[in-house]
Amino acid sequence: MNAYVTEFSVPESFSPVHRAEQYIRNTRFDRPTLVVDLEQVAAQYDALKAGLGRAAMHYAVKANPAPEIIAKLAEMGSNFDAASRAEIELCLSQGAPAERISFGNTIKRVSDIAFAYQVGVRLFAVDAEEEMHKIAENAPGADVFVRVIVENCDADWPLTRKFGCARDKVLHLLELAGSLGLNAKGLSFHVGSQTRQAAMWENTLDQVAAIWQDAKEAGFDLSLLNIGGGFPAFYGDEIQGPTDYARAVMAQVQARFGDVPELIAEPGRGLVAEAGMIAAEVVLVSRKSENDLSRWVYLDIGKFSGLAETMDECIRYQFLTDRDYEDTGPCILAGPSCDSADVLYEKRPVHLPLGLKSGDRIIIPSCGAYTSTYASVGFNGFPPLDVVVLP
Amino acid sequence: MNAYVTEFSVPESFSPVHRAEQYIRNTRFDRPTLVVDLEQVAAQYDALKAGLGRAAMHYAVKANPAPEIIAKLAEMGSNFDAASRAEIELCLSQGAPAERISFGNTIKRVSDIAFAYQVGVRLFAVDAEEEMHKIAENAPGADVFVRVIVENCDADWPLTRKFGCARDKVLHLLELAGSLGLNAKGLSFHVGSQTRQAAMWENTLDQVAAIWQDAKEAGFDLSLLNIGGGFPAFYGDEIQGPTDYARAVMAQVQARFGDVPELIAEPGRGLVAEAGMIAAEVVLVSRKSENDLSRWVYLDIGKFSGLAETMDECIRYQFLTDRDYEDTGPCILAGPSCDSADVLYEKRPVHLPLGLKSGDRIIIPSCGAYTSTYASVGFNGFPPLDVVVLP
């Protein structure tokens, strides 16, 4: 019996028995391992594409740079959103042509810009004057889009002001681009990570549409709208299925922006998270005091070896065990390192089987995004998360 | 002119010109690099040893596992506190004999316990019944010490309840150890990371002494007290020099515990942090809006590439630039990744030169501990922190 499958409504992209889960249940691992089902990545790509229509998908490589994923998506015709030189090199090495790669990080090393331009990348994100000058000098004549700040209220993980510029800067940057010989193509934004329902985009799209209108009135002929990421994965709370979700977002875009010549979407989590599951193990179960109501459960994976998104308990993973037929009780969940910050869930404890003990297997679904690359090189001597991709 | 040296009182272990700083100023780096001065590690070891007296030093390997540091300390006669099998293997490979290695992680894989025992490690930390059984089965007859929880109030970075057990469990665990054929040698605790003054240990030592007394009254013949870490490094706020600090802590221990046969201290940060400096670079300086008072300064190093201890702005690093003669203004400091959580200091902005711009060198002192191993394997395609050790 599987608590995960029976207790929650299963999103359309979930097959009844997940191939990754099946593989994990039939395999012994000597360290925490992420297992990714490439068939499910492909199915999710198709499902999102069906909803996105004529918008080009640029996979956010940072979500999971496993070469097999990049190669598969390249073969299927996907574009790629890269954050650094190494990610561009990865995409090229896996068969993605340079013209299908955009350099979406607004914070780029000068040498990375020069490299990107030299290999043929022509589309760059920018949100500041200094960055515009860096691009003009090292990627002359390139296409740029200006990232704008929006106020996020509805995402599970709202973004900070780290990326983008405020409305009062946008026209200035578009003008600067032109004066430096760059092609100011349009705008980009980010609705916030893990925005669970398409309806939650409304407020953000209104904000961006107002800026778009500003630019049109100021005479800028914008031809590109990059709607960024924010596409959700299933962590237990209901989400809209990928095709419905994408279609509903695009309908809202059409209503506000009309027939924009070029549309880009950058799913990362929404494309690969559900395709991956982590195989982990319980290392210790204890109570700190005879009177404690909660047990402490320590896993062989923690904040510094793959589960960084538990930071501030933002992403709440689910956990499958081989004891899901037992009664459960509240647990504080922690990682294996000698670091007091390596606690996964404490403010809101998780409920796990009462018989759980050292050596028990734990399966963590929806781990295909933002796990393997966050892992430290070897904090406390623990190796990074291993990755297995099922072809 | 060097703001770092002139504006703050310099602790005794700082030479007027730091060798790591000199090296960084004379070198070009193509990625963020930690430079560690091995001579300073050795000097700090001697300074702490002078104050610790007959207490054995067990270097907390997790603070910085650079092989050169381990080899140097092994040669100088240091003992080692290991957190995992890999750390034990590292110590052995660098010349530390097994009898000078303790396995201090309270959360140990069964296979790691068996490995440790097999290579000759005989001293283990424990804070729970299940862990005691794991040790009894896989390291029969070993020495154990029970880690107790203390309430931390005075550390810069108080620890959670993740490690240790409450007072009501201690006697039970000591008894369990005996009944399982283990040698229950004593107690350990941790005063909290970065406890800046020896006087701040008072309250913690009182708590542990009360538990120690409980155990003696219950007939346990304890012979080992492990006072853990907490030894501070200089980040700008005044700290006591290493010898004075260690001597004052040991005097407080003597006053409360008398002539304990065996004493252990586990400095990590306090031994290696000041010996290392990071060479980094400014990637972008911007304002989000014309009206913003603070600039955003983006470095080529961030939370996921070495500066993880900026989490919740706990450890506040200082920053040296080549413009320290210029007037300064407030900055929000962030890393280079496409991750909105990769912001180093925002609640309390840092003050940096007004002329700071892309390409400028940044030197970050006191980075010898808890930086290199926290670095991710390649988040966003950025390589892990490079490490150079000056012999």
A23 and A59 share one domain: no
Does the beta-carbon distance from A283 to B107 stay under 8 Å? yes
CATH number, residue B24:
2.40.37.10
Domain interval for residue A328: 3-35+273-390
pLDDT tens per residue, range B333-382: 999 999 999 999 999 999 999 999 999 999 999 999 999 998 998 899 99
Residues B170-199 pLDDT 10s:
999 999 999 999 999 999 999 988 999 999
Residue A104 to residue B338, Cβ atoms within 8 A:
yes
ipTM: 0.92
A116 touches chain B (CB under 8 A): no
Q: Same domain, yes or no, for A280 and A372?
A: yes
At residue A17, the pLDDT reads 76
- Whether residues B235 and B277 fall in one domain: no
pLDDT digits (tens, 9 = 90+) for B265-318: 999 999 999 999 999 999 999 999 988 888 999 999 999 999 999 998 989 999
H or E element that contains B363 = strand B361-364
What's the pLDDT score for residue A45? 98
Strand partners, A263: A225
Residue A10, pLDDT > 50, answer: no
Distance separating alpha carbons of residues A281 and A298, to the nearest angstrom: 9
Residues A164 and A292 both lie in one domain: no
Question: Are A116 and A226 members of one domain?
Answer: yes
Boundary residue ending a domain (A251, A272, A293) = A272
Rg over CA atoms, chain B: 22
Please indicate whether, in this complex, the C-beta atoms of A169 and B382 are within 8 angstroms of each other: no
Among candidate residues A228, A248, A272, the one where a domain is terminated: A272
Average pLDDT of the segment spanning B43-48: 98
Give the HSE-up count for residue A118: Cα atoms under 13 Å, Cβ half-sphere: 9
User: Average pLDDT for residues A53-74, to the nearest whole number?
Assistant: 98
Q: Would you state the pLDDT for residue A193?
A: 87
Considering only CB atoms, which chain A residues are within 8 Å of B31? none
Question: Measured between beta carbons, which residues in chain B are less than 8 angstroms from residue A152?
Answer: none
pLDDT given for residue B253 in this prediction: 98
Is there a single domain that holds both residue B280 and residue B239?
no
Residue B6 pLDDT level (bands cut at 50, 70, 90): very low
Which residues 41-100 of chain A have a CB within 8 Å of chain B?
Answer: 60-62, 65, 82-87, 90
Catalytic residue numbers of B read 338
The two most distant CA atoms of chain B are separated, in Å, by: 72
A99-110 pLDDT tens trace:
999 999 999 999
Q: Are residues B112 and B226 in the same domain?
A: yes
Q: How many A×B Cβ pairs under 8 Å?
A: 220
**Residue B128 Cα, gap to closest chain A Cα (Å):** 6
Put simply, the answer to whether A289 touches B168 (Cβ < 8 Å) is yes
Chain-chain contact of A291 with B168 (C-beta, under 8 angstroms): yes
pLDDT surpasses 90 at A69? yes
Stretch A282-297: mean pLDDT, rounded?
Answer: 93
Q: Is residue B313 part of a domain?
A: yes
CB contact under 8 A, A284 and B128: yes
pLDDT in tens, A302-343: 999 999 999 989 899 999 999 989 999 999 999 999 999 999
Mean of pLDDT over chain A: 93
Express as a percent the part of chain B with pLDDT over 90: 87
Give the confidence band of B5 by pLDDT, cuts at 50, 70, 90. very low
Q: Is A166 in the B-facing interface, judged by CB distances under 8 Å?
A: yes
Whole-angstrom distance, CA of residue A183 vs CA of residue A220 = 11
The per-residue pLDDT for A149 is 93
Same structural domain, B288 and B348: yes
Of the given ranges (A120-134, A153-167, A238-252, B40-54), which has the lowest mean pLDDT? A153-167
Closest residue to B285, CB basis, from A130, A193, A337:
A130
pLDDT at B378: 87
- Indicate if A30 and A42 belong to the same structural domain: no
- Residue-level pLDDT at B51: 98
CB B70 within 8 A of CB B100: no
The three-state DSSP-derived secondary structure of chain A is: CCHHHHHCCCCCCCCCCCHHHHHHHCCCCCCCEEEEEHHHHHHHHHHHHHHHCCCEEEEEHHHCCCHHHHHHHHHCCCEEEECCHHHHHHHHHCCCCHHHEEECCCCCCHHHHHHHHHHCCCEEEECCHHHHHHHHHHCCCCEEEEEECCCCCCCCECCCCCCCECHHHHHHHHHHHHHCCCEEEEEECCCCECCCCHHHHHHHHHHHHHHHHHHHHCCCCCCEEECCCCCCCCCCCCCCCHHHHHHHHHHHHHHHHCCCCEEEECCCHHHHHHHEEEEEEEEEEECCCCCCCCEEEEECCCCCCCCHHHHHHCCCCCCEECCCCCCEEEEEEECCCCCCCCEEEEEEEEEEECCCCCCCEEEECCCCCCCCCCCECCHHHCCCCEEEEEC
The pair of structure tokens assigned to A254 is 């059409």
Question: Is A229 touching B (CB cutoff 8 A)?
Answer: no
Residue A6: predicted pLDDT: 35
Q: Looking at residue B159, what is its pLDDT?
A: 63
Among candidates B220, B106, B224, B211, which has minimal Cα distance to B174?
B220
Measured in angstroms, the CA of B7 and the nearest CA of chain A are apart by 30
Q: What is the pLDDT of residue B165?
A: 95
Residue A145 has pLDDT above 70, yes or no: yes
CB A352 within 8 A of CB A324: no
Evaluate if residue B264 carries a pLDDT over 70. yes
Q: Is A165 on the interface with B (CB under 8 A)?
A: yes
Convert the pLDDT of each residue in B74-87 to its tens digit.
999 999 999 999 99
Chain B closest CA to A373's CA: distance in Å? Answer: 5
Judged by CB atoms closer than 8 Å, whether chains meet at A62 and B383 is answered as no
- Domain presence at residue B366: yes
Q: Which residue among A257, A272, A287 closes a domain?
A: A272
Is residue B336 domain-resident? yes
B246 pLDDT more than 60: yes
* A7, pLDDT greater than 50: no
Domain count, chain B: 2
Q: With a CB-CB cutoff of 8 Å, which residues 279-308 of chain B face chain A? A: 283-292, 296, 298, 300, 304, 308
Pairing of strands B343-353, A143-147: unpaired
In a domain, B50, yes or no: no
Average pLDDT over residues B21-43: 97
Q: What is the mean pLDDT of chain B?
A: 93
Asked whether residue B56 is assigned to any structural domain, the reply reads: no
Per the domain annotation, does B73 fall within a domain? no
Kindly state whether A347 is in contact with chain B, defined as any CB-CB distance less than 8 angstroms. no
Q: B214 with B328, same domain?
A: no
Strand partners, A280: A362
Judge whether B68 lies within some domain: no
Nearest CA in chain A to B172: A290
Whether B61 and B82 have beta carbons less than 8 Å apart is answered as yes
Structural domain includes residue B338: yes
Residue of B85, B134, B374 lying closest to A376 (CB–CB): B374
pLDDT for position A155: 66
pLDDT above 70 for B7 = no
pLDDT reading at A1 higher than 50: no
CB-closest option in B108, B130, B283 to A357:
B130
From A287, A311, A381, residue closest to B341, measured CB to CB: A311
Q: How far is A228 from chain B (nearest CA, A)?
A: 12
Inform me whether the pLDDT recorded for A132 exceeds 60. Answer: yes
Does B241 lie in the same domain as B278? Answer: no
Neighbours of A193 (CB within 10 A): 28
Instruction: Supply the DSSP symbol for B24.
Output: H
Per-residue pLDDT band for B155 (boundaries 50, 70, 90) equals low
pLDDT in the model for residue B154: 66
Q: Which domain CATH number covers B233? A: 3.20.20.10
Q: Are A124 and A103 in contact (CB under 8 A)?
A: yes
pLDDT interval class at A9 (50, 70, 90): very low
Same domain, B156 and B288: no
